Structure 1
Amino acid sequence: MTTPAPTPAPQDQIAAQVAQLLAELTLAEKVEMMSGKGFFEALAQDDRVWGARPYRAGGGNERLGLSPLWFTDGPRGVTRGNSTCFPCTMARGATFDVDLEWRVGQVMGIEARAQGCNFSGAVCINLLRHPAWGRAQETYGEDPHHLGVMGAAMGTGIQAHNIIATVKHFALNSMENARFKVNVTADERALHEVYLPHFKHCLDAGIASVMTAYNKVNGEFCGQDRALLTDILRGEWGFTGFVHSDWVRGVHQVYGAAAGLDIENPEPLIFGEHLIAAVEAGTIEPAVIDRAVTRILTTQLTFAARQDPLPAYGPELIACEAHRALALEAAEKCAVLLENDGTLPLRAPHKVAVLGRLAALENTGDNGSSRVRAPYVVTALQGMRAALGDEAILHADESDLDAATAAAAAADVALVVVGYTAKEEGEYIMGDIALGADQKKVPGRPSLSPTPIGGDRDSLSLPADQVALIHAAAASGTPVVVAIVAGSAVLVEEWRAAANAILFSFYAGMEGGTALARLVLGAVNPSGKLPFTVARDAAHYPYFDRDADAITYDLWHGYTKLERDGVMPRYAFGHGLSYTRFTYAALTARAAPDGIAVQVAVTNAGDVAGAEVVQCYVGAPGIAAEQPKKLLRAFDRVELAPGETRIVRLHVPYDSLRWRDPAAHGWRLEDGVYRVVVGGASDAGLETGVRVSARG
């Protein structure tokens, strides 16, 4: 009896298919797969509207029937058509809700598929080093662990619907105006402990592609940096997917291909005929081209071989009722209650003064590459009117402070909406950086402007007229609730004493106004937690120069810097109040075989249901090398009914406690007693200790 030959594993079949395709492709066809194509022509045809169509971003061969990579951006929703607009990424970071982010990722995958795309740039996980960074709203926060967990949830959610996700921008991209020129210097510890671990977390979770950053790292542009793209990404981490550049100026020399860049986007400005010539001249090995094409094809064919979860991805799924409901859920969960003297929730108010220009403005965030043109946007003013009726709402703004004071005096409470727009923070749109977009003035399109739009903030404070508006409202004697719309930390020292409650509502997406009304009226209990630190003084943050040619990034920023310096924040990382009260008890931590096992009892001690984000911070002994006093190493969001107690278990892998030894170019686990702190914010909680041995 003859034993049948074993059926090849799917990956073996794909490898054989790739080898056959490589043999059939010419050098010119292979190099053509290593760049985008048609972007400039498409942009001109679309009147320079970003995202008007899918962009060809590499791959594809018509002769052999191979599909290109069709790209869409989307940190807060698919940037095509009239897609669902979610709260900005930073807002969703404030939810600390991994399941929610996974579901949001799925919606982005579904809506990308429904609009002809197979490649998504929605996963942005650059670390928030300083709140002035103009594109802070596109990432999740200042903590590497939190960034990795949330980014992995988003990316795997997108890929659940067989859209290839890319994680960006690799690496150390944390400033906007100078992004094309700045050289970021970081030593080995800062690089591996602070600025890279979240990328590894996402790639270990299965995200299939990486987008490089514009900036330099230690003297070399990221898109042609062998240390990043080959030594670390491939050699140390074992990444097997493909790497592509950011749009325009993402690579400067043809040797970027040999350094590990597989695709130049959006056009072959450096690759293309120059890369063919380099191969023919012998300065680039043919194996470099085959390696890149193998990565591209293997990734595409792997995704193409998977079964789709849905039977079809029709246009009726775009911004459908279920997706809009998810946008509302995210907006409700992201809001962070910073302060409250009992004014919130509002109890059956007869009149509410909704104050501020931003209250009546559709303001979902940046107008650059992350812009989503939702089918509608509910403003704060519309949300309050829908909840209470037109007759219950008074409106005035900072253009007439006397009218604002009068409106507040005639109301039971004043809701003052303050913060920023795409003019003050966001992607920097100016000159040829915008591909000439600033030369064409189009009414109603604020991102096309002869003057700079967006970019890094020049101040961490509110505009002076908004501060005056808050004080004008307070002068009426009516309680004042301030809602902050922004992408990262805003200093509050000059006006917080005038406010009875402060709510950080972020750029909250298409359902932001509905969510705000439900939050302040008590239909929803605020549960967001700050994904960044709000300082008392701008000087407490690291040095920041938005026009820098060079900058050094070290181990310290955010809560790690303030704790090292012995400085109290105004609001700590992880801070967020509720309409109920949570207590913690019975904390235990033990050294298990693969990490620290943590257990704590959390009780809702109030009379309304609520959600608490249980945060676990771990502090190393710090004897072998200086380390932060503590770092977030695990978290879990739990829903609790009034009076309910739940035992929460958290796991901290030993690998996450290692520090990078620059002498050995490797990781070390320090022996000793580790502090374990568990609570509802980084500055509060129960504490215990556990002894960890590097020898097991």
Structure 2
Amino acid sequence: MEKANAFNDAVRAVRDGARDADESATQLITLLTDKELLGLLDGDSPRRLLPFIPVLLGRQPFVAGAVARLGIPGIRFSDGARGVVIGAATAFPVTMARAATWDPELEQRVGVAIGAETRAQGANYSASVCVNLLRHPAWGRAQECYGEDPVLVGQMGSALTRGVRVHTMACVKHFALNSMENERFEVDVAVDDHALHEVYLPHFKATVDAGADSIMSAYNRVRGEYMDVNRALLTDVLRHEWGFTGFVTSDWVFGTHDAVASLKAGMDIEMPLRMLRARALPAALRSGELDRATVLQSAHRILSTSILHAATREQQEPSATVIASPAHRALALQAAAESIVLLKNDAIGETPLLPLPRTTRRLAVVGRLADGDNLGDHGSSRVRPPSTVSPLQGIREAFPAAHITTDSGKNESAAAALAAQAETAIVVVGLDQHDEGESVVTGGVDVGILGRAFNSGLSRRIFIGLAHLAARFVRGGDRSSLELRPSDASLIRAVAAANPRTVVVLVGGSAIVTDAWRDRIPALVLAWYGGMEGGHALASMLTGDTEPGGRLPFVIPRDAAHLPPFDSAAKAVVYDDKWGQRHLDATGVAPAFPFGFGLGYTTMTHELLDHTFADTGGTARVLVTNTGNRAGSTVVQLYAADVAAEHPVAQLVGFQKVTVPSGASATVQITLDAGPTLQRDPNTRQWSARSGEWALLAAQCSPSDWAGAVPFRPTAD
């Protein structure tokens, strides 16, 4: 073996079947010096680059564990939940928008594209799979996750994992219970075993089962321990119970609290620079505080995973021409179009307001978000595409013969005057990076990252506190309200008073409460942060060229008070099994729009034909009939509940998106996930069926009425 080609030789041996990845990693480790061995366990760049992370993150991969002498490329990190963050790349809709497609096959294709562009930019590792559960819509990084339901999150996250892995290693984050932003560095999450294993972890396990190469540990504490030193979760659950064989990285800079303890707990790589471990591990290894076996264990996990992925990934390396290519732009357009949720579409006369006729001659497009780029937050997932289509541009192109007037909405009277002269008024309002997102000071870097050079202790806490204070005056973070800005709500009222044919388009990454003004308008659209092709997608939906294909991945309440409390400044929180739609179900409160809701331009019926169900899962056949006058799509949703409860709590157990021609029917077979109907014994770690009178129902959104549900017993025959 030529030493300079040692890594490639190891990869070739696995590809040819001469050795497996474990054997190849073991052999490669024998060639490493102690310095090289320890160098696998943290980032390669010196700590002096800390102030430049915001710039470098968008220019090049961050490397950990490269050994040029042996040809080991190391972990070449890039972020990218909505596209690769390096250079100018395809900006897909944010993760929450893609969750609204309820289409894992489409999400897998998005993953392949993100992986290809990541690899074309010189990276081999994509931290693109965020499967944290949306516990409350005020969470600042809600846009980076797949919503509030473990089954939906698990299926969509697994699909992205499979897609990304075609070209790069897939990193799943942030493990675990990371569902608030402002205090993410310090907050301590208390959770009982039932909620932990049955609510907040199943979707992570789903991505592990889908082949995740790496897991990123979170900043927060769980049951008093920071996640990087939480052996109970990183080793006992992740590795021993789930069988995960990949490696764990820290979240950046603040994600490592103790160099030695974190390694012993199962956190393999400190990211992204040579910080705590570079100083502490050599001495700890010499003194015996750190066993060599622990170092070898992490080194083996890193190298075996890297070798196996290099041997099994797509061998044809993508060229730079794939980046923001026409094919990827078309995919971004499809994802955006299928994500748009039509929440309201009342009739004007005898006809629903949407879609708008092509013969429309006068339109008013108003609102502060009608024109310009609004792709989501400006944190570590920020993508900079070569071009972006705004809502106004998309509408102009869709109605080339129409006279379109526009106004930012700062002057309500002026905007209302334009609306009064138009056949239809379109108001585009909502959220941007100032209202929600990763809590940052500047340019895609974690709050407090700049200038951090502390091990731990008082200095570190003071710096974090100052950074938090600075962030309050800049942008991002958890939302202060679920309502629109008062100026946006006032604009809607003024325009609706001037023109009864008013469409409100909401932009954002999570739930927006609309009850204060919704009854004044006939049509309401949730268009998300739609990516670089979002304007085209919105326009095609407004004209009816495409259907509003999205369904809500969360519930929208009538009032924020109907949800569990959310304190963005809390240092300690309790996570239980009642949140979102389940909280409303359990308390008997009706939402404005239930989980899974979304209108189309046609009408569908769903009929459960038959099913099988055991504690290992099952299948159901559902007859879907399009009773409308145009082809359309629907998401068939299967829910289970204990119908003996005073307020049955719906549990999603399966879903599938299907397109059906007008007047036609289709029989859909859906795989059912028994997980939501099971309970885990904390002593034996065995799963069994929950007690109760369980029933199954096919629906088009989370049901409030269980009449017609079919009884079943979620136990093995």
Q: TM-score, normalising length from structure 1? A: 0.93
Q: What is the distance in 2 between the residues matched to 1:499 and 1:409?
A: 14
| Letter in structure 1 aligned against 2:150 | P
* Cα offsets for 1:303-361 (capped at 9, x unmatched): 1112525x341111100000000000011000000011111111121111101010012
Residue 177 to residue 267, structure 1, CA distance change in 2 (3 Å)? same
**What corresponds to 1:72 in structure 2?**
78
Mapped pair 1:152 → 2:158: yes
User: Shift of the alpha carbon at 1:475?
Assistant: 1.5
Residue 43 to residue 662, structure 1, CA distance change in 2 (3 Å)? closer
**What corresponds to 1:18 in structure 2?**
25
Residue 356 to residue 215, structure 1, CA distance change in 2 (3 Å)? same
Q: What is the distance in 2 between the residues matched to 1:380 and 1:640?
A: 29
Q: What is the distance in 2 between the residues matched to 1:437 and 1:641?
A: 59
* Cα offsets for 1:113-133 (capped at 9, x unmatched): 111010001100100000000
**What corresponds to 1:642 in structure 2?**
662
Q: What is the distance in 2 between the residues matched to 1:586 and 1:262?
A: 47
| Letter in structure 1 aligned against 2:517 | W
1:34 aligned to which of 29, 36, 41: 41
Residue 247 to residue 528, structure 1, CA distance change in 2 (3 Å)? same
Secondary structure of the residue aligned to 1:475 is helix
* Cα offsets for 1:30-50 (capped at 9, x unmatched): 111101121755565687353
Alignment of 1:236-251 (within 5 A): 236-251=241-256
Q: What is the distance in 2 between the residues matched to 1:395 and 1:39?
A: 51
| Letter in structure 2 aligned against 1:266 | P
* Cα offsets for 1:513-566 (capped at 9, x unmatched): 111111111111112000000001111111111111100000110111110000
| RMSD of aligned Cα (Å) | 2.3
**What corresponds to 1:4 in structure 2?**
none
2:173 aligned to which of 157, 168, 174: 168
User: Shift of the alpha carbon at 1:51?
Assistant: 2.1
User: Shift of the alpha carbon at 1:673?
Assistant: 4.4
* Cα offsets for 1:164-215 (capped at 9, x unmatched): 0000000000000000010011110110011100000010111111001000
Q: What is the distance in 2 between the residues matched to 1:192 and 1:147?
A: 15
User: Shift of the alpha carbon at 1:601?
Assistant: 0.7
Q: What is the distance in 2 between the residues matched to 1:450 and 1:565?
A: 34
Contact 1:615 1:678 in 2 (8 A): yes
Contact 1:76 1:86 in 2 (8 A): yes
Of 13-22 and 506-515, more deviation after overlay is shown by 13-22
User: Shift of the alpha carbon at 1:294?
Assistant: 0.2
Contact 2:614 2:714 in 1 (8 A): no
Q: What is the distance in 1 between the residues matched to 2:144 and 2:191?
A: 23
**What corresponds to 2:582 in structure 1?**
560
User: Shift of the alpha carbon at 1:217?
Assistant: 0.3
**What corresponds to 1:441 in structure 2?**
none
Alignment of 1:120-269 (within 5 A): 120-161=126-167, 163-253=168-258, 254-269=260-275
Mapped pair 1:394 → 2:405: yes
Q: What is the distance in 1 between the residues matched to 2:615 and 2:249?
A: 39
* Cα offsets for 1:1-20 (capped at 9, x unmatched): xxxxxx99848433222112
Contact 1:39 1:266 in 2 (8 A): no
Of 168-177 and 521-530, more deviation after overlay is shown by 521-530
Secondary structure of the residue aligned to 2:151 is helix
Residue 476 to residue 627, structure 1, CA distance change in 2 (3 Å)? closer
Mapped pair 1:287 → 2:315: no
User: Shift of the alpha carbon at 1:664?
Assistant: 4.3
**What corresponds to 1:345 in structure 2?**
355
Alignment of 1:39-50 (within 5 A): 48=55, 50=57
**What corresponds to 1:515 in structure 2?**
537
- Count of paired positions: 677
Alignment of 1:273-672 (within 5 A): 273-306=279-312, 308=314, 311-341=316-346, 342-347=352-357, 348-389=359-400, 392-430=403-441, 433-436=447-450, 451-591=473-613, 594-620=616-642, 629-655=649-675, 657-662=677-682, 664-670=684-690
User: Shift of the alpha carbon at 1:589?
Assistant: 2.7
Contact 1:671 1:692 in 2 (8 A): no
User: Shift of the alpha carbon at 1:592?
Assistant: 6.1
**What corresponds to 1:444 in structure 2?**
none
Q: What is the distance in 1 between the residues matched to 2:571 and 2:471?
A: 25
Q: What is the distance in 1 between the residues matched to 2:435 and 2:119?
A: 33
Residue 539 to residue 388, structure 1, CA distance change in 2 (3 Å)? same
**What corresponds to 2:457 in structure 1?**
none
Q: What is the distance in 2 between the residues matched to 1:592 and 1:282?
A: 51
User: Shift of the alpha carbon at 1:594?
Assistant: 4.8
Contact 1:671 1:693 in 2 (8 A): no
**What corresponds to 2:697 in structure 1?**
677
| Letter in structure 2 aligned against 1:615 | Q
User: Shift of the alpha carbon at 1:629?
Assistant: 2.1
**Runs of 5+ consecutive residues of structure 2 not aligned to the other structure:** 1-13, 347-351, 453-469
Q: What is the distance in 2 between the residues matched to 1:199 and 1:556?
A: 19
**What corresponds to 2:459 in structure 1?**
none
Q: What is the distance in 2 between the residues matched to 1:602 and 1:294?
A: 50
User: Shift of the alpha carbon at 1:364?
Assistant: 0.4
Residue 148 to residue 307, structure 1, CA distance change in 2 (3 Å)? closer
User: Shift of the alpha carbon at 1:451?
Assistant: 2.7
Residue 23 to residue 235, structure 1, CA distance change in 2 (3 Å)? same
* Cα offsets for 1:230-289 (capped at 9, x unmatched): 110011111100000011111101211000000010123221230221222222211110
Residue 676 to residue 114, structure 1, CA distance change in 2 (3 Å)? same
User: Shift of the alpha carbon at 1:584?
Assistant: 1.9
User: Shift of the alpha carbon at 1:377?
Assistant: 0.7
Contact 2:119 2:317 in 1 (8 A): no
Contact 1:429 1:455 in 2 (8 A): yes
Of 61-70 and 117-126, more deviation after overlay is shown by 61-70
**Runs of 5+ consecutive residues of structure 1 not aligned to the other structure:** 1-6, 439-447
Secondary structure of the residue aligned to 1:381 is helix
Contact 2:78 2:123 in 1 (8 A): yes
Q: What is the distance in 2 between the residues matched to 1:473 and 1:425?
A: 26
| Letter in structure 1 aligned against 2:236 | D
| Letter in structure 1 aligned against 2:382 | R
Of 519-528 and 613-622, more deviation after overlay is shown by 613-622
Secondary structure of the residue aligned to 2:479 is coil
| Letter in structure 1 aligned against 2:302 | I
| Letter in structure 1 aligned against 2:249 | H
* Cα offsets for 1:356-388 (capped at 9, x unmatched): 010012000010101000010110111111111
**What corresponds to 2:464 in structure 1?**
none
